[in-house]
Amino acid sequence: MLEILLAGSWAMLPILLCSAVALAIILERFWTLRRKAVVPAGLGAEVREWAHTRKLDPEHLAALRTNSPLGELLAAALTVRNRPREIIKERVEDTGRHVVHRLEKFLNTLGTIALISPLLGLLGTVFGLIRMFFSVMVSGVGDPLKMAGGIGEALVCTAAGLCVAIPAYVFHRYFRNRVSDLVVDMERQVFLLTDELTAPAEAGAMPVRAARSAI
């Protein structure tokens, strides 16, 4: 394996660096985007019980805010619980933009790696072919070893770039979809809490309206 990597010459260095960064991002996102860490089971029901029994002292809200991304959104709604529904919605939207930004952290970098890795492999391929043609110019076509070295460098760089790019692209799409699924789950919990907070004020007037919270 080491001999194959060395055959790719200097062009393998940026490709190997991209592979190390991509692996670090993939492992970090797998850990960060665990469902139980983002949307803890039972948290929404527990917070709605707090709202129903009015157990909403500052200590509860501070603990909730640091609990998880879902907890941060629910705490944002509870902070303005005595305001109209539109104010609650705006506060959750503002907080939600920051939460989603953190959930998508490093995904742009992973997508960039998926994009540039084949280009780096192509660059190494071009330099390998240039090296081969210079060898032909100097020694003629009678030295197959020099030609084979240039062709080998080109093929190794191309293969290495694709081996980095394909997994990076797959995981980039996977994490994007995972974030979308988690956001939908958080939206659902925010809807339920908002209904719990605004139901007393709207009881006897009309049923609680369903409003989409743009997290």
Percent of the chain at pLDDT exceeding 70: 79
3-class state of residue 33 by DSSP: coil
In this model, does residue 178 exceed pLDDT 90? yes
Mean per-residue pLDDT over the chain, rounded: 81
In this model, does residue 202 exceed pLDDT 50? no
Reported as half-sphere exposure (CB side, CA atoms, 13 A), residue 158 has a value of 12
Nearest one of 77, 75, 112, 71 to 92, comparing CA atoms: 77
Confidence of residue 8 (pLDDT cuts 50, 70, 90): low
**pLDDT tens string 95-144:** 999 999 999 999 999 999 999 999 998 888 887 777 777 766 666 655 56
**pLDDT at position 215, please?**
47
How large is the average pLDDT for residues 156-184? 93
The CA distance from 178 to 105, in Å, is 13
Confidence of residue 31 (pLDDT cuts 50, 70, 90): very high
**pLDDT tens string 145-160:** 656 666 766 788 888 8
Percent of the chain at pLDDT exceeding 90: 40
**pLDDT tens string 33-57:** 999 999 998 888 888 887 777 667 7
The CA distance from 6 to 207, in Å, is 70
**pLDDT at position 204, please?**
40
**pLDDT at position 29, please?**
95
pTM: 0.79
The CA distance from 8 to 5, in Å, is 5
